[in-house]
Amino acid sequence: MSLELSSISVAFGGFKALDDVTISLNKAEIVGLIGPNGAGKTTCVNVITGFQDPTSGTVLLDGQNINTKAPFDIRRRGLARTFQAGRLFTGLDVLDNLAVTGVGLGHSRHRSEEEALRLLTWMGAEHLAELPAAGLPYTDERRVGIARALMFAPDFLLLDEPAAGMSETEADDLAQIIKRIAEELACGVLLIEHNVGLVLSLSKHVYVLDAGKIIEEGDKAAILGSTAVREAYLGAEHTPENMGDA
């Protein structure tokens, strides 16, 4: 099963937020998407998940064009996402935050609560189940957002800046969760991050977006060795040796 963006462009008047972007992802693999602020990363995620219509190009999920599908329909087809902000329902506890997603996917409340507790336990976060979402520490809020996206086993998960604001130790813990999502749940992960070291350590293939265009793609060695990446994303003064720590 595959997820593919084929020649996607998004124009707002005369401004092109995305320009002929092609990205592919298979189940059970981790692919990275990096780029500076304003490069078009979140626009890319919004196009994939139905929150933004492309001006041209197609998004294919297992070979089927999903361009015209609503976000809830895309989620029911097995494509989930997180948001840069947690967007939890602050009036509910953690378990209910996950269960609401299950009900929205057409499952009973009881079945949804069972799945929510199973996922929280799988992530080592079952102790959060009855806590109010409004009072969660930032890192726990991020973990709950990921657990909510994983409700009822999506085929693909788009993680939009999941490590933002995390310490190095917290980011390392997150990396282990992302690995397990791919390996144990056979879920394809598109990892959109400013933490270049995190992306390079996890991703089989990385795409680099700048000013709406893919300027480089490849494995860790290709990205580290790219002059275009260092100049556009990190600045010309960075070298391959220190880029992964940026």
pLDDT for 102 beyond 50 = yes
| Chain segment 184-226, per-residue pLDDT in tens | 999 999 999 989 999 999 999 999 999 999 999 999 999 999 9
pLDDT at 164: 87
Inter-axis angle of helices 94-104 and 138-149, nearest 10: 20
Q: What is the CA radius of gyration of the chain?
A: 18
Mean pLDDT, rounded, for 98-126: 96
pLDDT for 246 beyond 60 = no
pLDDT at 243: 52
pLDDT at 138: 87
CA dihedral 92, 152, 128, 166 (to 10 degrees): -100
Backbone angles phi, psi at 127, to 5 degrees: -70, -15
pLDDT at 242: 47
pLDDT for 13 beyond 50 = yes
Sequence-ordered list of residues with C-beta below 8 angstroms from that of 21, at least 6 positions apart, any chain: 5, 7, 8, 9, 40, 44, 57, 209, 212, 213, 214
Distance CA 119, CA 113 (A): 10
Q: Which two tokens stand for residue 112?
A: 């949804």
Compute the half-sphere exposure of residue 57: CA atoms within 13 Å on the CB side of its CA.
Answer: 22
pLDDT at 96: 97
pLDDT for 86 beyond 80 = no
pLDDT tier at 233 (50, 70, 90 boundaries)?
A: low
Ordered domains of the chain (ranges, CATH)? 2-78+154-243 (3.40.50.300), 88-152 (no CATH)
Specify the higher pLDDT residue, 236 or 168. Answer: 168
Q: Are 182 and 195 in contact (CB under 8 A)?
A: no
**Alpha-carbon torsion 9, 12, 13, 17, what sign?**
negative
pLDDT at 235: 62
pLDDT at 62: 94
pTM of the shown model: 0.91
User: Strands (DSSP E) along 98-175, which ranges?
Assistant: 156-160
**Alpha-carbon torsion 189, 190, 194, 198, what sign?**
positive
pLDDT at 244: 46
| Chain segment 115-167, per-residue pLDDT in tens | 999 999 999 999 999 999 998 998 899 999 999 999 999 999 999 999 988 89
pLDDT for 37 beyond 90 = no
Average pLDDT over the chain, rounded to whole? 92
pLDDT for 95 beyond 80 = yes
Q: Are 31 and 200 in contact (CB under 8 A)?
A: no
